[in-house]
Amino acid sequence: MKNRAFALLVIAILGLSCSSACAQDTPHLEKRDGRFALVVDGKPFLMLGAQIGNSSSWPISLPNAWTSLEAIHANTVEAPVYWEQVETVHNTFDFTNVDLLVNQAREHHLRLVLLWFGTWKNGQNHYVPEWIKTDPKTYPREITAYGKLLDVMSPNSPTNLEADKHAFAALMHHVREIDGTRHTVIMIQVENESGSVGSVRDYSTAAQQSFDGEIAAELASALHIRPATWSKAFGADADESFAAYSTAHYIGEVAKAGKAEYPLPMYCNVWIAYPVHALENRDRPSAGQEYPSGGPQQADITIWKAAAPSVDVLAPDFYSDDSVLFRDILATYHRADNPVFIPETHFGASFGRYFFYALGSGAIGFSPFGVDRPAPATAAPAAAAGENRPPNPAENFALFAPMVEQIAQLNLEGKLQTAVEEKGSERQTLHFDGADAVISFGFPQSDGNVPPGTPQLQGRAMVAQLGPLEFLVAGFDASVSFRLNTAAGAQNEQIEILKAEEGMYINGSWQTSRILNGDQTDRGLNFHSGTQQAVRIRLHKLPLYDEEVRRLRQP
């Protein structure tokens, strides 16, 4: 209380309004040359996230959740807030579960991302309060082409929008009140996997009227097209584009109302359109069937960006073991107007590799889903389902937790790259200014042989340039060595190690635990599974030849 009074006095003396002083401190996104960092308490922050189960934000389930979060070394918990619970009675709010989340996250030294389970949850309306569910006349449902009322709210209804905006704004008001100076809550997910399951768009009379009219002016200008009807502008994709615009506009308005109370960074997670492999003639997944129509899927990012400017990040959830698809999704959502953030992924064997791929594309955060699920009874069947809780989530996060600030900063500056083992790519090269890093996966590595790789493709490495010929290196099941690259005129120069220090950042500064040399550096820096230390390596260049001796000895 005393501190707060003093802070207010300082603010008053300096003539600052609270809103400007607090706003500077509020977690926010920083953009530099098309790259991003999430800034928390003035420092770049990498979210080592973990999402708890859908029904876990309750006093009875939270103790187990905290234990699981600790076990995987997460620094951020993603936890749902249920509209049906916070506004059981229309216009009466109960934020006790939110308070519990904030207080207990603080006790466990975790940051918190709140997930607003409002109008949408997995393309349906299951979290709207009973007073909405039971009154479809006032709060209209989405209606299919043949007239069926869906368990999806109409995104074309102003009443639905007002109700959600009102509740979300109340939530954000409350979060600012309890956390506006502490910043335990660092980001907000607005809705969950929006869009509609069951129909490509809303065919209600009101929606049909809008569909028959012209597309919005801001959309036409964002797409560089002339105003036209939806059918003219989008042809065969008109229904889905209309759904995307309606949903994005609705959620953009919800986000805006929330930001007016407390402008935290806001994102929407995406149930992406996975390719359909089932039947040859179904080369394209269908909107409203295989994925919720109108969500921020790959094809509709531009519509979403135009229609929902208050949503800062479109963040793909990823539930597939196809790493080619994962890289494709990273590339699709990695845009000058969109930071990479993976808010949900399998808590399975692919985790370790995907985390490194995401880091390599500048991700501000990464999170497995359902970390507080009870452990499977037997390892074998669970492993088959890709949910075998391999050690790699914990080992990844344990390695990176002490240096999130440095990693986020290096990514903002574009100095960090990663290599991930793939079949047939057991050796890879990363190009840096002045030198290349050569990564070889799997052990043992013997002279003259290609590196063996690992049976489960678990090799992964990160290299970041700290200065001219100085690098921060970390990884698992990988060795990393450096050579001059030809761009740096390597023909007449050679490179050697000055010092390789194993250690870790602690409270922002590097602490060396030992200097590596001999077998630990002569054939590259070796990172075995379970390593929790990084290496800072300094190299230097020297001429390849003594020119005088070379001249004298030449025949």
Q: Which of 350/417 has CB closer to ligand DGJ?
A: 350
Q: Which residue has the tokens 């001429």?
A: 543
Q: Hey, what's the torsion of the CAs at 250, 114, 332, 34, to 10 degrees? A: 100
Q: Which of 122/210 has CB closer to ligand DGJ?
A: 122
Q: Shortest gap between Cβ of 116 and ligand DGJ (angstroms)?
A: 12
- What's the CA gap between 317 and 457, in Å, rounded? 22
Q: Shortest gap between Cβ of 346 and ligand DGJ (angstroms)?
A: 9
Please say whether the dihedral angle defined by the alpha carbons of residues 160, 162, 168 and 174, taken in this order, is positive or negative: negative
Tokens of 114: 């709140």
Q: Which of 292/362 has CB closer to ligand DGJ?
A: 292
- What's the CA gap between 490 and 467, in Å, rounded? 18
- What's the CA gap between 44 and 403, in Å, rounded? 11
Q: Shortest gap between Cβ of 294 and ligand DGJ (angstroms)?
A: 15
Contact 241, 234 (CB under 8 A): yes
Q: Which of 193/240 has CB closer to ligand DGJ?
A: 193
Q: Which of 317/395 has CB closer to ligand DGJ?
A: 317
Q: Shortest gap between Cβ of 429 and ligand DGJ (angstroms)?
A: 36
> Angle between the 238-261 and 158-179 helix axes, to the nearest 10 degrees?
40
317 contacts: CB under 8 Å, gap ≥ 6: 193, 269, 270, 271, 272, 342, 343, 344, 345, 369
- What's the CA gap between 361 and 462, in Å, rounded? 12
- What's the CA gap between 504 and 518, in Å, rounded? 21
Q: Shortest gap between Cβ of 366 and ligand DGJ (angstroms)?
A: 15
Q: Shortest gap between Cβ of 113 and ligand DGJ (angstroms)?
A: 13
Q: Which residues pair with 76 in a beta bridge?
A: 49, 111
Which residues of the shown chain bind ligand DGJ in the complex (CB under 6 A)? Answer: 54, 122, 192-193, 269, 317, 344, 369
Q: Shortest gap between Cβ of 149 and ligand DGJ (angstroms)?
A: 23
Q: Which of 190/461 has CB closer to ligand DGJ?
A: 190
Q: Which of 120/527 has CB closer to ligand DGJ?
A: 120
Q: Shortest gap between Cβ of 275 and ligand DGJ (angstroms)?
A: 18
Q: Which of 54/208 has CB closer to ligand DGJ?
A: 54
Q: Shortest gap between Cβ of 122 and ligand DGJ (angstroms)?
A: 5
Contact 190, 281 (CB under 8 A): no
- What's the CA gap between 28 and 44, in Å, rounded? 10
Q: Shortest gap between Cβ of 365 and ligand DGJ (angstroms)?
A: 15
Q: Shortest gap between Cβ of 296 and ligand DGJ (angstroms)?
A: 13
Q: Which CA distances in Å does 369 have to 62, 78, 80, 129, 267?
A: 15, 9, 12, 25, 16
Q: Which of 51/104 has CB closer to ligand DGJ?
A: 51
Q: What stretches of 292-426 adopt beta strand conformation (E)? A: 313-317, 341-342, 365-366, 416-420
Q: Which of 26/192 has CB closer to ligand DGJ?
A: 192
| CB closest to ligand DGJ, residue no | 193
DSSP code at position 427: E
- What's the CA gap between 188 and 266, in Å, rounded? 5
Q: Which of 65/439 has CB closer to ligand DGJ?
A: 65
Q: Are β-strands 313-317 and 266-271 bridged in parallel, bridged antiparallel, or unpaired?
A: parallel
